[in-house]
Amino acid sequence: MKLRTFLPLLVLSACISPSLAGPLPDPATDIPLAKESGKATAVFAGGCFWGVEAVFENVKGVTDAVSGYSGGTLARPSYEQVSSGMTGHAESVQVTYDPSQVTYGQLLKVFFAVAHDPTQLNRQGPDTGTQYRSAIFYANADQERVAQAYIEQLKQAKSFRRPIVTQVAPLKAFYAAEAYHQDYLVQHPDEPYIVINDMPKLAALKGELPQLYSPKK
């Protein structure tokens, strides 16, 4: 299981990403909103999947978010195998969304602004190892183009005080994690790890990106 770190709540809730220099701009390059309702997917890795999943489940236009594993070589890995750091996988979240309600670029803004800190290399908060790396796994050329362009835009705007280390890589496979990892924040809202590391992300989503916040029913 995760390393439990009991730091004072005020320290972590004051600012989700201390490396942020200010509010993030909207993506200058994006995939336009679809004219009709549909289904699309995006896969992001940003540390422990519990918090990343919870953030995206509360984003406008998102219909589902599933915790799992991507980026490695082992088929259908277990949590224990991924946690060893030997499979190459990162804890990831597959986001299913309606492209007529929210764009891929807007999901990227959520990912960089409140879901994690993209300047932490092979770690996120109290969790360390390549399985906690920051990564965007693109499913097609459009996703790759928009992701690369947004990272470059953030670099040019000096949106972060430290270099962005997010990996942009092709999505080869996504494997859903074990059932007990799904909706973990919803099932364990009072667990100290969740309260300290993940609840502030939801507060930041609501406070900093209200136009994209849509609380889970």
Run of H or E including 156: helix 141-156
Give the active site residues: 48
Q: pLDDT by residue (tens digit) across 128-153?
A: 999 999 999 999 999 999 999 999 99
pLDDT band at 17; cut points 50, 70, 90:
confident
* Region 174-187 average pLDDT: 98
For residue 198, the model assigns a pLDDT of: 98
- C-alpha separations of 205 from 54, 71, 78, 89, 169 in Å: 11, 26, 30, 27, 26
Portion of the chain with pLDDT greater than 70, in percent: 92
129 touches 122 (CB < 8 A) = yes
Run of H or E including 169: strand 167-170
* Region 142-170 average pLDDT: 98
For residue 206, the model assigns a pLDDT of: 97
For residue 2, the model assigns a pLDDT of: 53
Establish if 76 belongs to a structural domain.
Answer: yes
Return all residues near 210 (Cβ < 8 A) that are at least 6 apart: none
Establish if 14 belongs to a structural domain.
Answer: no
For residue 123, the model assigns a pLDDT of: 97
| Structural domains counted in the chain | 1
Establish if 56 belongs to a structural domain.
Answer: yes
Run of H or E including 204: helix 199-208
Q: pLDDT by residue (tens digit) across 35-84?
A: 999 999 999 999 999 999 999 999 999 999 999 999 999 999 999 999 99
Strands 134-138 and 167-170, bridge-based pairing: parallel
- Of 11-15, 44-48, 93-97, give the lowest mean pLDDT range: 11-15
Decide if pLDDT at 216 tops 60. Answer: yes
- C-alpha separations of 77 from 4, 137, 177, 205 in Å: 23, 17, 8, 31
Cα 47 to Cα 85: distance, rounded to the nearest angstrom: 13
Phi, psi of 151 (to 5 degrees): -60, -45
Establish if 60 belongs to a structural domain.
Answer: yes
136 touches 44 (CB < 8 A) = yes
For residue 217, the model assigns a pLDDT of: 63
Nearest to 61 by CA among 39, 43, 29: 39
Cα 210 to Cα 20: distance, rounded to the nearest angstrom: 18
For residue 6, the model assigns a pLDDT of: 37
Q: Is 214 strand, coil or helix?
A: coil
Model confidence, pTM: 0.93
70 touches 90 (CB < 8 A) = yes
Establish if 63 belongs to a structural domain.
Answer: yes
Domain of residue 66 covers: 35-211
Establish if 20 belongs to a structural domain.
Answer: no
Nearest to 47 by CA among 140, 145, 109, 122: 122
The domain that contains 40 carries what CATH number? Answer: 3.30.1060.10
Establish if 10 belongs to a structural domain.
Answer: no
Establish if 27 belongs to a structural domain.
Answer: no
pLDDT band at 16; cut points 50, 70, 90:
low
